[in-house]
Every structure is written in structure tokens, then in C-alpha cells.
Chains A and B, each alone.
Chain A
Amino acid sequence: MALVVPQWRVNHEFVEHRCIVLDKRIGELNDEDGTLYRPEIEIEYHIGDETFRIWTYDIHQAYSSGREAKQAILDQFLIDPKNPIEYVCWYDPAEPGTAVLVRNYMWWVWLVLIVPSTFILIGLGGVIYRVLHWGKSTERRAVMQQRVKQRDPFVAGGAASRKFPNVPDDSDITNSPGTTLRYRLPASASAGWQLFGLLMASIVWNGIVSVFVVLAVRGHAKGEPDWFLTLFMIPFVGIGIFLIVLFIRQLLVATGIGPTLVEISDHPLQPGDSCRLFVSQSGRLSINSLRVCLVCEEQATYRQGTNTRTETREVYRQELACHEGFEVHRGLPFETECELEMPAVAMHSFKSDHNGIGWHVVVEGDVAGWPDYRRAFPLIVYPGSGRNMQ
């Protein structure tokens, strides 16, 4: 606040006035890091019958590095005793002996304020939350949160969500028509985002590790090896190499193996339903095996210390089609159709804040000379007789 308030007062409360420059100099401060500088200008101004003569420039009067920049500031102010030039200044009406020649905002001052303010706001929010929920049961709090969610048009789902609470909306799937069958299923995770995530992880991890590796290598080069640092870094370098290999592998799969398309004749599904699936694999590939499977996965998100982890467990797998030993030629994708039959007593798709149950059509390929790949396409399964209830 000691930095922000004076800056605010200069810009909002100080009064504009006229002054003449009498002298100027560069103020120096010798610090542990070297010499720091600031511009200092002697000005004279009159308020009523009183004359003020002070050394000033801005309200902070802070020292910083870079003598040339301060000299450039001083050069803007001319001293001519015979024909004095008037300059604009701003003085404090509460204390007329304080004045400045500039009143600019310094962005870093506000940045300094933002950091503690954020913590204060988070703390305040926590206190308000506690006060509002004081003495209320878990169920009553849950009801209040549900009502807030229902009022939020961006959180609450459509009519299907109200009829089937906690069953994900299927509009993302049914809004893309297929060319062979009715709907084209979207891929569950964009390969681009996976690649980007792996690239960032590789850069950050290896960037940090490389600093220590350079230190260790320099020690060896100088003939003063630090064996503890060298041995300590081995597992970290190993993880870095693993990340790079994983990234290259994903890059090869994303760029070398052509797109996989999956289309479905009917959606959403419910237990006992059967429908047609169309699978298309492009590229120029020699495929050892291509499997199309129906998979159900449970997903649980939990906090462990300060980390949030998500665990996925496959609980159901049914092979729908398997083709072995064939070639895919550029411009002539491999295409196949198969029957998808939902188990008669399957659990429906489910999503809550920390838990989920999801159904996917999974295409798994074993390609000669390439890493194996797996592409998943989500399906929404309603509870039994669910579609008739819409």
C-alpha cells in the first residue's frame, strides 16, 4: 500500500502547477549489486506568498540500474538562469512542499498489489463460504449448490440432463453427421493437445535438468568432477529421455498414421441396443492388426496432498471386429462395418464432479514399423428404456 497510495494520490489529488528548473544531477546509491541511479532535479515554484525549492523527479524516488536512461531524463530539462523555462509540476495540496515533475503509473506497483490482494480475496471468500454454510448439514449444502447449478445456464444441461441426472449430454456426438452412417463420433481427446502437453512437459523438465547437467559436465571438464551431483542427476536425465521418446512416439503416431473415423447408425444407446458401426483408417500403412472394441471405463479423481490425480479403470471390453495383415494405401482408406451390441444390463454413462463412467468405441492398431496406437470415441449410454422416456 505504501507504493500504491502515493502513486494514486499523485494522479488524482496533486494540483497542476508551474516551476522552473534550477539544477539537476544523477543520484547514486552503492548497493551489493553495484551502483544504482535516479534522476534528481531542483525546482522552484510559488504557492501564494510562499516559495518552495526542492529536489524531486517522481513520487517514488526509487534507484535503479542504467545511468544512461537517467541522463536522458535530465537532458529533457534545460537550465537557463537568464531566461528560465517553465515546466509543469504537480504539488500535494495537503503538503505543498512535496511536488513531482512526472506522474506516470508504474505497472509493477500494481502487480505487487495484485499478489497479496489475490490471497486476501481467496481467504475472504473462504470465510464468507464458511459463514453462509455454518450449521448447515451436508445434504442441505448439496441442495443449495444444486439449485445454484440449475440456475446457471452454462452449467445446467438441457432437457436430457433434467430427465437423466448425471448422464452426460450427447449433443456433441449427434451434431456431427456421418457420410456412411448417421453420426460421426468425435475422438475423446485431441491428439494435438496430447502432443502439446507432452512437448511442454519435455521442455520444462529437460530445461530444468539441463542446468544441473551443464554444471556436472563443467565439473568433469575442469577435472573437478562432482560425483554426487552426477549420480544424483542420472534418474532425472532418464525421465527426461523417456519424455522425449514418448513425445517423438506420439508425434509419429499423430503425423504418420492417418486419421481414424468412426460412424454410428444410432445414438444415444441404451442397454440391449444394437446398431451398426463404420470404421475408416487412412494413411499409407502395413497393418498387422486393427481391433475395434466396445469399452467401459470408470474414472475417479481424488486429492492426494496438494495434487489432484485421476485414475481410470477399464471394467468392460467386448471385441467388435478384428482385421489382420492388410495394407492401407494413400487415398484408399481401409473401411469396415460391424455390429455393436450393448450388454443387456450395462451401467449407463455417468458424470459427477469427481467420478465418472464412460463408454467408448476404441480402435487399436498394430502397424508394422510404427508404434501401436489407440484412439477412443465416446458414446453416451442412457439407463434402460431411457430413450423412450425423452
Chain B
Amino acid sequence: MNDSMVIVRFDGNGRAYRPGETLAGEYAFDSTVSEDVAAVEVSVMWYSEGKGDEDLAVHEFSRQDVEEGEWFDTRRPGRFSTVLPNSPLSYEGVIVKLRWCVRVRVFLRSGGELVGEREFRLGTVPPAGRGGNSIV
């Protein structure tokens, strides 16, 4: 697995979005990717970090597979677009953190896998310890 060969970009170089806003962008393959692509999965998802075991949920998922008649040109970027949900909002807590990202997973015919990921913020909740009245 190589994390650097798939690049994810958001339209307008956005980093923070509001619930209900449209997140759109594209993913592109590094010029060194010459192998035939077998399938591409694009996930708009959140995952947890912190002390607890990881939870994740996928808001939008699409899979294109050559076995289902899809064809990929690694020289041209692929696009994605989704309307973001109302929750959960991005959160930087003390033992619980919630992060949103677009993850693109590319499956090669050789059996290899490439992953590209780009984080974004959903909502404007400040980190725990800031923005409240009295923080523990």
C-alpha cells in the first residue's frame, strides 16, 4: 500500500464546511501510477480517534469496478460530490476526537492497493477547553 500516489483535492481548496453544504472535489493519480486500475472506491466518512476503539461511518460511498464495465484513465482525474450531513460535527476532544475525510482507495490489477486521503472540518465546534464558560 502506498499513501502518496493518489492525490485528493477539494474545489476552492476548501478545508471547512457547514452541515448541508456541498463538498466537491477530484482525485488524481501520481504520474508514476502506470499499472492498470481494477477498482476505485471513494468514501466521504468520519472516524474517531482518542482513547476509545476506533469507530467510523461512511456518509457517501461509491465504487467503480472494471468487472462491472468501468474503465479508468489514470491520466484524468476522477470527481466526487456530496451534500454533507447535519452530524456528527468535527470535534477535538480530550479523549474523543471526530475527524472527517475523503478517502480514495485504488485497487490495482496486480493486487496492490493505493490510498489517498484528505481531511476537512464539518462545522465550527472549537476544541474542548476553548469556547465554553468553565472548562475542567
Contacts and interface: CB of A to CB of B under 8 A. Distances in A.
Interface residues of A, number: 44
A241 to B, nearest CB: 31
B19 interface: yes
Given A165-B85, A355-B55, A318 B134 contact: yes
B52 interface: yes
A319 B134 CA distance: 9
Contacts of B105: 137, 139
A345 B123 CA distance: 10
Contacts of B136: 314-317
B5 interface: no
A355 B52 CA distance: 6
Contacts, number: 139
A192 B94 CA distance: 31
Interface stretch (B26-34, B66-74, B75-83, B124-132): B124-132
Contacts of B128: 298, 315-316, 347
Given A139-B103, A143-B58, A345 B41 contact: no
A166 interface: yes
A214 B132 CA distance: 56
Contacts of B41: 137, 139-140
B134 to A, nearest CB: 5
A353 B53 CA distance: 9
B117 to A, nearest CB: 11
B38 to A, nearest CB: 11
Contact of A386 (B54, B61, B86): B86
Contacts of A318: 132-134
Contacts of B50: 298, 300, 355
A348 B88 contact: yes
B134 A165 contact: no
Nearest to B90: A347
Of the candidates B94, B132, B136, the one having the most CB atoms from chain A within 10 angstroms of its own CB is B132
A346 B126 CA distance: 8
Interface string A305-348: 00000010111111100000000000000000000000111111
A225 B56 CA distance: 58
A302 B88 contact: no
A143 B63 CA distance: 11
B91 to A, nearest CB: 5
Contact of B93 (A302, A317, A357): A357
A350 interface: yes
B44 to A, nearest CB: 10
Contacts of B98: 350, 355
A300 B91 contact: no
Nearest to B53: A354
A354 to B, nearest CB: 4
A146 B57 contact: yes
Nearest to A164: B87
A303 interface: yes
* Nearest 8 interchain pairs by C-beta: A300-B52, A352-B55, A300-B51, A139-B43, A315-B128, A354-B53, A354-B52, A298-B96
22 contacts: A139-B43, A139-B56, A140-B63, A142-B56, A165-B57, A299-B52, A303-B53, A311-B51, A313-B94, A315-B128, A318-B132, A318-B134, A347-B125, A350-B91, A353-B53, A353-B55, A354-B54, A355-B96, A383-B86, A383-B89, A384-B123, A386-B86
Interface of A: 137-140, 142-143, 146, 163-167, 298-303, 311, 313-319, 343-348, 350, 352-357, 382-384, 386, 389
Given A345-B124, A345-B131, 8 more contacts: A298-B93, A298-B94, A300-B95, A315-B135, A318-B133, A345-B132, A346-B132, A350-B98
